[in-house]
Amino acid sequence: MFSGISLVCFATSYTVSLGLEVTRLAFRSRVRQVAFVTFGMVGFVVHTIYLANRAREEMMSGLPLSSWYDWCLLAAWALVLIYLIAIIIRPHLTLGLFLLPLVLLLLTVAWILRDLTPFSQDHATRVWGLLHGFALLLGTVVVAIGFVAGVMYLVQATRLKQKRSPRLGLVLPSLEFLQQANIGALITSSCLIVLGLSAGIVLNLVRHASEQEHTPWSDPVVWGSELLLVWLFAALLFNWLYKPARQGRKVAYLTVASFLFVLLAVGLALFAKHASGEDKIEPNNPNSPLVLRTSSSTIRLVSPGRRPSPLAAREVLE
């Protein structure tokens, strides 16, 4: 249905959106705000569909989203996501004048590098794994900072409401500063965690395409991550549509709840030994590889019901 989509389609939408952003320097218009947001969103949706189609096609022929062309497209996609979130929450900012030229530059580089061969399987797995772990680590840290800022806001607001004098040594920032810190932590952590979860999905697709051990889509870590992703999008949408949620106790409650959801996702990952590095063996599956361990090596064998391949039968020295 969407096989006719090409890079030119969403690049054109971003170009129109950039042109409308430039006109903000010359004159004011209420219609323009809706126009460049619409063109940006249309381009983003088409961009997303294009990447999904490439991932599906490359799953059959090789490694999904593991070439310079793909990575330039993904970097541009991430920048457009940040741009859309920014102009929705802070419509008066002219962030598009700085982000959209970079997006178009990345798309141009992608077009130039489109014929380069994809990366090797080991390289793709290593880079996507690092991006997955690093983005989730930063996202968790920012969520924790937002949690601390939220608790401090609640304590400071309660103290001021009851007109209590500050205790000796207990000096807290102003409510305005804590409110901005909560909003910033909510937006930043959402972007980082979405990036980390997206990288994890691609990493799992790469492992699946290369017949490596991969996490089943029914794993508690997967649906726990999906639950966290749904919550983050719901929190951002609520923060955008309901203006009182951008100030006062409500934004503090959102950051505290986000921290609890992150703790739930981390608990599921630890419970399922998601990051332990152990081989996932399915003894009831006739297509699962057999693993023999000795003190000096690990030998992987292919069961009789599966076609042998260089990746499925090998000996790796420790």
Q: What is the DSSP letter of 244?
A: G
CB 308 within 8 A of CB 287: no
Residues 215 and 125 in one domain: yes
- Residue 317 has φ and ψ, to the nearest 5°, of -75, 135
pLDDT at 171: 76
Residues 81 and 126 in one domain: no
Of 100, 116, 132, the residue that ends a domain is: 116
Residues 263 and 128 in one domain: yes
Nearest residue to 310 (alpha-carbon basis) of 159, 130, 177, 122: 122
Q: How many domains does the chain have?
A: 3
**Cβ within 8 Å of residue 205, ≥6 positions away:** 55, 59, 64, 65
Residues 187 and 268 in one domain: yes
Residues 235 and 296 in one domain: no
**Cβ within 8 Å of residue 108, ≥6 positions away:** none
Residue 117: exposure state from Cβ atoms within 10 A (0-12, 13-18, ≥19): exposed
Residues 139 and 263 in one domain: yes
Question: SS3 of 116, please?
Answer: coil
Count CB neighbours of 225 within 10 A.
21
pLDDT at 220: 67
pLDDT at 275: 54
Residues 192 and 309 in one domain: no
Residues 238 and 269 in one domain: yes
Of 116, 131, 163, the residue that ends a domain is: 116
Residues 221 and 92 in one domain: no
Q: Which residues pair with 297 in a beta bridge?
A: 317
Residues 210 and 102 in one domain: no
CB 232 within 8 A of CB 195: no
Write out the residue range of the structural domain in which residue 216 sits: 120-277
Cα–Cα dist 42/317, whole Å: 51
pLDDT at 210: 62
Residues 66 and 161 in one domain: no
Count CB neighbours of 105 within 10 A.
12
Cα–Cα dist 98/214, whole Å: 39
Alpha helix segments (H runs only) across the chain: 7-22, 30-61, 68-89, 96-112, 121-161, 175-209, 220-241, 249-271
* Residue-wise DSSP of 130-186: HHHHHHHHHHHHHHHHHHHHHHHHHHHHHHHHTTPPPPTT-----HHHHHHHHHHHH
Residues 135 and 227 in one domain: yes
- Residue 7 has φ and ψ, to the nearest 5°, of -60, -35
Taking the complete model, does pTM exceed 0.85, yes or no? Answer: no
How do residues 98-125 score in pLDDT, each as one tens digit?
999 999 999 999 999 988 887 777 777 8
The one-digit pLDDT tens for each residue of the chain (318 residues) are: 566 788 999 999 999 999 998 988 888 777 888 888 899 999 999 999 999 888 888 777 667 778 889 889 999 998 998 888 888 777 777 888 999 999 999 999 999 998 888 777 777 788 888 888 888 888 888 888 888 988 888 888 888 887 776 665 677 888 888 888 888 888 888 888 888 888 888 887 777 766 656 666 666 666 677 777 777 777 777 766 766 666 667 778 878 888 887 887 777 766 665 555 444 444 444 454 444 444 444 444 444 444 444 444 444 444
